[in-house]
Amino acid sequence: MAFELPPLPYEEEALEPHISARTLSFHYGKHHQAYVTNLNSLIQDTELAKKSLEEIIRLTARDEEKVGIFNNAAQVWNHTFYWHSMSPQGGGEPKGALAEKIKEDFGNFEEFKKFFKQAGVSQFGSGWAWLVLNKEGNLEVMKTSNADLPMVYEKKTLFTCDVWEHAYYLDYQNRRPDYVDAFLNHLVNWEFAQRNFDSSR
């Protein structure tokens, strides 16, 4: 069974004015779709065609001969996770157990935001900023390059922000810090993060 582009959880204009419909239409309709198309053609008629997306990512991670498959599979996963990491009603502050845990592990919410913004802004070139739960059960802010993702380091992801230029260039040009601010203040889906947090404990 070939992989298919999963539906966006909202309309393409739903994140305006923070992310334009034009950006989402290219990012989802062209970039995300291209990763799906490339992955399908790379695994066609191979053993990997019978595996789940997560299995393909784990099986090809750090395998130099399969780097093309890993990159496309991971980017399919990363983008689906990113769409769900945002909501038209996003931003603000988390509630409940996750809010408590952020206070415990980062000091306070503003400190967490500083760490996250720093990770997104300082990722050199293309990549991702993440809030993750490590094996010790503590929250961490993490950044990864290109298609790399926390799953292969056995970290559980709560949400992510795409900091590849294609995620923000049409709306913010070179102002990546403004895009990460908009993500944190208006878009991040704390209910999604809370569900991921709850399911990991």
Q: Does 164 bind Mn ion (CB under 5 A)?
A: yes
Q: Does 35 bind Mn ion (CB under 5 A)?
A: no
Q: What are phi and psi of 136, to 5 degrees?
A: -80, -5
CB-nearer residue toward Mn ion: 126 or 134: 126
Give the contact letters, 143-162, x = binds to Mn ion (CB under 5 A), - = no.
-------------------x
Nearest-approach distance from CB 129 to Mn ion, in angstroms: 12
- CA nearest neighbour of 87 among 190, 196, 4: 190
**Cα–Cα distance for residue pair 156/154, rounded to 1 Å:** 7
3-class DSSP assignment, residue 26: helix
Do 193 and 158 touch, CB atoms closer than 8 A?
A: yes
Q: For residue 109, what is the DSSP state?
A: H
Nearest-approach distance from CB 183 to Mn ion, in angstroms: 13
Give the CA angle between residues 160, 80, 115 to the nearest 5°: 0
CB-nearer residue toward Mn ion: 101 or 176: 176
CB-nearer residue toward Mn ion: 77 or 112: 77
Give the contact letters, 105-144, x = binds to Mn ion (CB under 5 A), - = no.
----------------------------------------
Please give the residue ranges that form the binding site for Mn ion (CB under 5 A).
162, 164, 167
